[in-house]
Amino acid sequence: MAHVDRASLARNEHLTFRANTGVGRHGWLRLTPAYGVRLVRDKLATLDKGAVVTDPFSGTGTTALGAAELGLYGQSIDVNPFLVWLGNAKVARYENAVLLDTLAASAEIVSQHLRANLDADLWAPNIFKIEKWWSPGALHALKVLRAEIDQFSGQMKTLMELALCRTLISSSNAAFNHQSMSFKSAEGTLPLFEEDDYSLVLKLWIESLDTIVDSARYSLQGKASVYLGDAREFGEVLEPADYVLTSPPYVNRMSYIRELRPYMYWMRYLDVASDAGELDWQAIGGTWGTATSKLNSWEPDVETPVDEALRVVYSQISEDGGKNGPLLATYVRKYHHDMWKHFMSLALHVKPGGTVSYIIGNSTFYKHEVPAHEWYAQMLSALGYENVKVAVIRKRNSNKALFEYDVSATAPLN
Ligand SMILES: C[S@@+](CC[C@H](N)C(=O)[O-])C[C@H]1O[C@@H](n2cnc3c(N)ncnc32)[C@H](O)[C@@H]1O
């Protein structure tokens, strides 16, 4: 294992999602699970044009888009259908005519709805206590936009929906700060609407669409696709990979579904709260809603090369974690069983001599370290991978024990 000079590591934020804001299509939606596009570019820069790059945990599609920008073929999978939609929207080719039509149609939508008609009976997502998320004016504008966007199809609809996703977050009560926003024009600044929540949301949508259309213009040198799938069972759709670059869920109980809920409801990937728990249960490391109670009765169904180390950490966490200890210990155990299934499935997918690189953090539970990076390395070694290396790339936060690592290896030649 690599020797780590922990004290000398800066937080290296250019390697995280924060660096993606404003980097063209990578900045379309700001979501925490993303890693930085610079990391992807640095890693893939030396591959030959057309090389196949797989990301089995696509998230926001950073790897697929980064690969396509470099003239490679990016293919990714994710269990979350919203992220599959988002990834494919980010890697698509958009003809200029579509972009111009989208801008014209959106301007038309806004001009038809300058005044709110609060009597209109419009669809709203089934979000619990929705009135806590948006003020009445903002919510009404989002409903109007949703109904208008539903009249479109294909790429025009996709672009408008992406702008709606940005708008619904920036107009939520968490982010809404009533700053005066205006369109810029050659003559100066034009205040087009009254500054109430309703009109502000329409303006935010048009501005978001402008930003998105601007970066949809540049064409990608390569290609990419994002598929709905499970990293524990690779389907036949994927081409054998020259390079696997990914960041799987961390062992930190973060629920991607929880963070993505507002988008998923408005984009109609979620309808009732229990669906969210079901979807989280399918995700590796999911522990939200019904996933928690299912975890209680989970039993291992495979042996892994790290069972012995897992057993030790399992009893430490169960003993020191009070009444939650056994549940958290099972969570850690199931996570690594799932990752072992993933690595076994991966073995059939990577070309002989191909490279794999996993960006993963360690974690702590009641002061006991869960060294996922070391266990990944052991699982890869057990599958015959060579040159297995663990390198620290970043300190994660003020907790001295938490780091992000790159676990890389070369697939066996036969
Ligand atoms: C850390 S995020 C990936 C972030 C990504 N690198 C990016 O830049 O956006 C992990 C992703 O793995 C997905 N995931 C979890 N379990 C999965 C599974 N069994 N198969 C495929 N994807 C899964 C989650 O939905 C989440 O999007």
Is the distance from CB of 242 to CB of 351 less than 8 angstroms?
Answer: yes
Which one has a higher pLDDT value, 351 or 252? 351
Q: Measure the N-to-C terminal CA separation of the chain; round to a whole number of Å.
A: 25
> What is the CA(78)–ligand 1 centre distance, in A?
6
pLDDT in tens, 133-190: 999 999 999 999 999 999 999 999 999 999 999 999 999 987 644 343 333 444 444 4
User: Averaged over 127-133, what is the pLDDT?
Assistant: 93
Counting from 1 in the atom list of ligand 1, the atom nearest the Cα of 62 is 8
Q: How far, in Å, is the centroid of ligand 1 from the Cα of 83?
A: 9
Once rounded to an integer, what is the mean pLDDT over residues 317-341? Answer: 95
**Which residue's CA is the closest to the ligand 1 atom numbered 16?**
283
Beta-bridge partner residues of 361:
404
Backbone torsions φ then ψ of 205, nearest 5 degrees: -65, -45
Q: Alpha-carbon distance 370 to 6, whole Å?
A: 17
Rounded distance from Cα 63 to ligand 1 centre (Å): 11
Q: What pLDDT is recorded for position 254?
A: 85
- Protein residue whose Cα sits closest to atom 7 of ligand 1: 34
Q: Which amino acid is at 167?
A: T
The predicted model gives 7-26 an average pLDDT of 58
**Mean pLDDT computed over 347-376:** 96
DSSP state of 357: E
Q: How far apart are CA 58 and CA 216, in angstroms?
A: 20
CB 33 less than 6 A from any atom of ligand 1: yes
Task: State whether the beta carbon of 78 lies less than 6 angstroms from ligand 1.
Answer: yes
pLDDT of 287: 81
Atom of ligand 1 minimally distant from the CA of 283: 16
Mutation pick for ligand 1 pocket among 28, 40, 58, 245 (CB with most ligand atoms within 8 Å): 58
Rounded to 10 degrees, the C-alpha dihedral 250/304/74/405 comes to 40
State the average pLDDT over residues 36-49: 94
Whether ligand 1 lies within 6 angstroms of the CB of 60 is answered as yes
pLDDT at 6: 41
Q: Ligand 1 pocket check: which of 14, 75, 79 to mutate, most ligand atoms within 8 Å of Cβ?
A: 79
Ligand 1 centroid, distance to 283 Cα (angstroms): 8
- Strands 386-395 and 403-410 turn out to be antiparallel
How far is the C-alpha of 383 from the C-alpha of 100, rounded, in Å? 51
Contact by Cβ (8 Å): 285, 271 = no
Classify the phi-psi angles of 33: left when phi > 0, otherwise alpha if psi is within -120 to 50, otherwise beta. Answer: alpha
More confident residue, 397 or 369: 369
**Ligand 1 touching residue 232 (CB < 6 A):** yes
For 323-352, what is the mean pLDDT?
95
Percent of the chain with pLDDT over 70: 89
Instruction: Report the range of poorest mean pLDDT among 180-189, 246-255, 375-384.
Output: 180-189
**Distance (Å, rounded) from C-alpha 112 to C-alpha 284?**
45
Taking residues 388-393, report their average pLDDT: 96
- Residue 222 is predicted with a pLDDT of 96
pLDDT value for 195: 52
pLDDT tens column, 211-235? 999 999 988 999 999 999 999 998 7
In the reported structure, the alpha carbon of residue 249 is separated from the centroid of ligand 1 by a whole-number distance in angstroms of: 6
**What integer best gives the mean pLDDT of the chain?**
89
Q: Is 20 in the pocket of ligand 1 (CB under 6 A)?
A: no
Question: Quick one: three-class SS letters along 24-83?
Answer: HHHHCCCCCCCECHHHHHHHHCCCCCCCEEEECCCCCCHHHHHHHHCCCEEEEEECCHHH
Q: Which of 257, 296, 262 is nearest to 277 (CA)?
A: 257
pLDDT at 405 over 60: yes
pLDDT tens for 263-279 read 999 999 999 988 888 89
- Cα distances (angstroms) measured from residue 403 to each of 47, 295, 390: 27, 27, 12
- pLDDT at position 17 is 55
- Tokens linked to 165: 């996703």
pTM above 0.85, yes or no: yes
Check if 249 has its Cβ closer than 6 Å to any atom of ligand 1: yes
Task: Specify the ligand 1 atom closest to the Cα of 284.
Answer: 16
Helical segments of 181-324, H only: 197-216, 256-266, 273-282, 290-296, 307-320
- Cβ-based neighbour number of residue 214 at 10 Å: 12
Q: Is 223 exposed, middle or buried (0-12, 13-18, 19+ CB in 10 A)?
A: middle
Nearest-CA residue for atom 22 of ligand 1: 78
**Element of type H or E holding 122:** none
- Give residue 286's pLDDT: 85
Contact between residue 350 and residue 405 where contact means Cβ atoms under 8 Å apart: no
